[in-house]
A and B are shown apart, each in its own frame.
Chain A
Amino acid sequence: MLTVEQVSRSFGSVVAVRDVSFSLPTGQTLGLLGPNGAGKTTTMRIVLGIYAPDRGTVRWAGAPIGAATRKRLGYLPEERGLYGRMRVHEQIVYFARLHGVGPADAAASARRWIAQLGIEEYANRPCSELSKGNQQKVQLACAAAHGPELLILDEPFSGLDPVNAQMVLGAIEGLRRTGTTLVLSSHQMWQIENSCDRFCIIADGAVRAAGTLAELRAGVPERVVRVAPNTAPTRAVLDRVGQFDAIIAGELHYRLPADSDFAVLLRDLVAVAPITHFEPIPPSLSAMYLRAIGSAEMEASIP
């Protein structure tokens, strides 16, 4: 279990993170979300022990993050780099060995990752000769080749084309299946919505929302319902219980309180018109993210 409790960290007069708390059971995946400058990277660095928090604690498997614990962690930073003159296989082996893996195991792991990421033909080439996408694959292999218990991936899809992004997503899914605990950040919500068990949305250095997708949804007071056809009687029924939102592709979109009785609503609609489509839509991760960030901005704008 990764436990982050009341963690704060400032740089001079700038408060980077403030009372950040979340927990992540072993083997689960956490999506750390937030706009640029929200404090995601600082939070990740604190979890990794790169920064010491001013206040609060970070524990992995019940123990504070120390030199021994760090060997069991893996990290793919947002800004990535490789030793240009070092060969691909050699580079992966080097990083695995820095984490305490023996020479033979490190070499075997490097071979496995090279095969999994489809870069066999580059295994003995200097990294500087690889394309950006392939370099990013090597970096992922460097972060994961030692078999970390907890792997932290900061924007793992940034700069990747759709094919390579899919391949990296496949590798992440593979790590999930083997029980690796993952913390990953991304701006591409659609890519991580189905890959994460839990989410933590950070803005202005503070946690705005945290929990499973269901828990996050439970915190949203509205639902959107899509109804077709767009007729006057239909609108009249909907206007009584909700607020008009939009008409998209001929379908009415209305916002209703989350605790609305949708079965009763459907019965009332059917009673006034022949309904061809009725669909209450659960809020997407993107919508919940924007809502959390938006409320933060609104709060910040109040003098």
Chain B
Amino acid sequence: MNTFALVFGAEFARKIRSRPFLVGTVAGMISIALLVLAPAFFARALRTSSSSIVLAGPPALRARAADLLRGGYDVVAQRDALPMPFTAAQLDGDHKAAAAIVLGAERRRLRIDVYARDLSQVGEGLERTLEPLQLELATGADLAGVARLTNPDLHTHAVDSRFADADAAELAHGIAFALIFVLYLSIIITSQSVMASVAEEKTSRIAEVLVATISPVRLLAGKVTAAGALGLAQITLWGVTGLALAPLGLGGMLDNTRAASPHVPLTLVALPTVGIFLAFFVLGFVQFATLYAAAASLISRTEDLGSVATPVILPVVGAFFLAQYASVAPNAPVSVIASFVPFVSPFVMFTRSTISNVPPLQLALALTINVAAAYACFNLAGKVYRVGLLMYGKLPSLAQVVAAVRS
């Protein structure tokens, strides 16, 4: 077994057994579960508390209104008329409804009386929902006719787009955001792991024995790869948790909105993207993680980690925000230029290539630049790492590091 595999195995085994990793993984799974399930839970709670209504009025009017209200309201009871004076106790008697709505028609005008505990929850939305009924009364046309009169015949035609329709484009945006977030999260999580690991070896003085035994570059490679593999394993576990619980969470949301699920097969959008993502993931990860390791090799006390961590973590945050901008304006000059800038490129170019038609030459150029940048980062980090591991005392200045690397 070569030394790279040995370092990788030992690093992986040490980290996976460590308390911070176990606690972080379990806490992450719980957080994901809460994030997935909470919206559905609250949606159900909101549906029962603020969307349930009692409908009253003439039967014909009620029937047509009930059709219109079906999307956003839960009509729990219908009455010809409400007993007056109307009280909250009567709402409680009707499945604890949030409001009672009384419909009436006077001189071709719809009258809506709302009785509710909290009027802020029922009002403008209701008025807009029942607008077609008002138009029906005013014009004498049936509801279908009203719909024809009020809704233009919209036809969309994609130009210079890789997606056939709006659903596919929207899904691509979602996938781009999700995968960029995975890259961002991997780098942030891994940076902590890589830095802590290097700092442990440096401060506990194991580093000197290690660099006397094996090449610092192999040591660095084994460490970064193990941290990356662990980060990916952790995120995969969180992803599986989210996907496993998604039907429960999404089911609740759909029950509430009664929205149709997207008709675009996920694989058709995702498959071409996965290859590009993996390439940019590896290249981006190598660029950042090696620099984190190099930065951590410069400290002598774990307390100094913060002072070297901030300058190298800020570019990740910047790259993430630039990717958000690129998702809105993929062909803006800033997005195009950022696609070729090392460190930022993996985020921006991946986003652009997922949601728009990027010329293959641009994609190839960005990949080439990133391969070169990853190689340069790895070599530079290897040199800093080699000298940094043996530098003790006060945190060295940039000039001192450059001088040490040159010597």
Contacts and interface: CB of A to CB of B under 8 A. Distances in A.
Nearest to B214: A98
B212 A85 contact: no
B314 interface: no
A197 B64 CA distance: 107
B111 interface: no
A184 B216 CA distance: 25
Interface residues of B, number: 26
B14 interface: yes
A97 B212 contact: no
Contacts of A143: 209
A76 B210 CA distance: 11
A81 B18 contact: no
Contacts of A10: 407
A70 B213 contact: yes
B205 A77 contact: yes
Given A12-B403, A67-B215, A99-B213, A94 B10 contact: yes
A81 B213 contact: no
A221 B210 CA distance: 45
A36 to B, nearest CB: 14
A85 B11 CA distance: 11
B368 interface: no
A97 B215 CA distance: 14
Contacts of A94: 6, 10
B209 A75 contact: yes
A98 B14 contact: no
A99 B212 CA distance: 10
Contacts of A80: 205
A77 B209 contact: yes
Contact of A95 (B204, B209, B211, B407): B209
A50 interface: yes
Interface residues of A, number: 29
B208 to A, nearest CB: 5
Interface string B178-215: 00000000000000000000001101111011111111
Contact of B206 (A71, A73, A81, A97): A81
A86 B14 contact: yes
Contacts of A81: 201, 203-206, 209
B210 to A, nearest CB: 8
A67 B7 CA distance: 16
A182 interface: no
B213 A97 contact: no
Interface in A79-97: 79-86, 94-95, 97
A83 B206 contact: yes
A28 B14 CA distance: 38
B268 interface: no
B144 to A, nearest CB: 71
Contacts of A75: 208-209, 212-213
Nearest to A47: B212
B212 A82 contact: no
Contacts of B361: none
B6 A98 contact: yes
A146 B273 CA distance: 48
Nearest to A98: B213
3 smallest CB-CB distances across A and B, nearest first, come from A81-B204, A81-B205, A79-B205
26 contacts: A11-B404, A48-B212, A50-B208, A50-B211, A67-B215, A70-B214, A71-B213, A73-B212, A75-B209, A75-B213, A77-B205, A77-B209, A79-B205, A80-B205, A81-B201, A81-B204, A81-B206, A81-B209, A83-B14, A85-B14, A86-B10, A86-B14, A94-B10, A97-B1, A97-B6, A98-B7
Interface of B: 1, 3, 6-7, 10, 14, 17-18, 200-201, 203-206, 208-215, 390, 403-404, 407
Interface of A: 10-12, 45, 48-50, 67, 70-71, 73, 75-77, 79-86, 94-95, 97-99, 142-143
